[in-house]
Amino acid sequence: MRQVTTLGQFIIEKQADFPYAKGELSRLLRDIGIASKIVNREVNKAGLADILGEAGSINVQGESVKKLDVFANEQFIAALSLGGECCAIASEENEDIIIVDNKQSRNAKYVVAMDPLDGSSNIDVNVSVGTIFSIYRRTSLTGPGTLEDFLQHGTEQVAAGYVIYGSSCMMVYTTGKGVNGFTLDPSIGEFCLSHPNMQTPKTAKTYSINEGNYVHFPDGVKKYIKYCQEEDAATSRPYSSRYIGSGVADIHRNLITGGIYMYPTTAKSPKGKLRLLYECNPLAFITEQAGGKATDGFRRIMELEISELHQRTPLFLGSADMVDMAGDYMKKYSGVDAAIK
Ligand code: AHG
Ligand code: MN
Ligand code: MN
């Protein structure tokens, strides 16, 4: 019989590598796993919203129907609050941090930042969406979590991951010792290890960017896109363009098959669109752990200074050689002055 390793078993096995670990981080990951299974269940019946009732209305069971991003936010906050291992949460959906001020959580070691539903514009059209999370050890020693606990460099992340609600539901995470992927087996309700020690190809033939914004891109990005589109047999160009518009889905595909994901500055988003704390840093941590790179075009994402919870940054992430080359084009054609201060 084939042996499967569940997420829970894997976490316990890995915990044995850290003799002083008390299991708090393992429990935190378990809590995130529980919330993502509940969100996955809702995502799977999102198409029934018209039958069961639209967001803001009352469904046939008499419950009010929530928009999926609000629902996901509530589920993750509830799981993390009840779990007792995190003293504060930062979410894309909340202006300020959420202090988890119950008896077990008040002095908990960790804070969690998250994008509870990434790719929300894709919910109504049956396209994959995701959740992104990032875990830090608090810098304040005890008492309620503080804003400063979140304002740490990405290099300080203790763990990070994403869940993709796709043709199957997967959780991919890292604690800084490689990246592992788990696929939800709906028949047993468990995430099972399906992608051990994930490695992203060093170079590849896919670029992912919202090219509709082309006129507003910095010159470095425009020239790099043109490079990707040129014909050259030796480097297998032209490359393929793949862009779903769900960051987790685009980055998950590129992680597996190789490629570069770019969200540079645009006229509408002069500092970039994606958020450093709960989108770029966790995705950068995973990508680096899988052998890839992540920059803002000039600097490593995980070393960027962070001063605001919802701070944005441009993002170039994926196969190492491609991110390096995009960076070379940025330096050559956009210059360091284009770097976000
Ligand atoms: P969110 O749904 O959390 O707001 O994030 C959407 C992000 C990201 O997932 C995606 O890659 C990007 O925004 C798409 O933006 P455009 O529609 O501007 O291309
Ligand atoms: Mn997002
Ligand atoms: Mn979101």
pLDDT at residue 104, rounded to an integer: 87
Which CATH architecture is the domain 206-340 placed in?
Answer: 3-Layer(aba) Sandwich (3.40)
pTM of the model: 0.95
User: Is the CB–ligand 1 distance for residue 210 below 6 Å?
Assistant: yes
pLDDT at residue 290, rounded to an integer: 98
Q: What is the pLDDT along the chain (341 residues), one digit of tens a residue?
A: 668 999 999 998 888 776 667 789 999 999 999 999 999 999 988 777 665 555 666 555 555 656 888 999 999 999 999 999 999 999 999 999 999 988 889 889 999 999 999 998 888 888 999 999 999 999 998 889 999 999 999 999 999 999 999 999 999 999 999 999 999 999 999 999 999 999 999 999 999 999 999 999 999 999 999 999 999 999 999 999 999 999 999 999 999 999 999 999 998 899 999 999 999 999 999 999 999 999 999 999 999 999 999 999 999 999 999 999 999 999 999 976 566 65
User: Is the CB–ligand 1 distance for residue 245 below 6 Å?
Assistant: yes
Nearest Cα to Cα of residue 302 among 325, 328, 281, 288: 281
Distance CA 210, CA 262 (A): 8
User: Is the CB–ligand 1 distance for residue 31 below 6 Å?
Assistant: no
Three-state SS sequence of 231-297:
CEHHHCECCEECCCCCHHHHHHHHHHHCCEEEECCCCCCECECCEHHHHHHHHHHHHHHCCCEEECC
Instruction: Give Dmax (Cα) for the chain.
Output: 63
Q: How far is the CA of 278 from the centre of ligand 3 (A)?
A: 9
Question: What are the sequence ranges of the domains in the chain?
Answer: 7-195, 206-340
Which CATH architecture is the domain 7-195 placed in?
Answer: 2-Layer Sandwich (3.30)
Nearest Cα to Cα of residue 125 among 54, 60, 43: 43
Q: Which amino acid is at 328?
A: D
DSSP code per residue over 38-87: HHHHHHHTGGGHHHH--TTSB-TTSPBPPPHHHHHHHHHHHHHHHHS-EE
Task: Using alpha carbons, list the distances in angstroms from residue 122 to 114, 127, 165.
Answer: 18, 5, 11
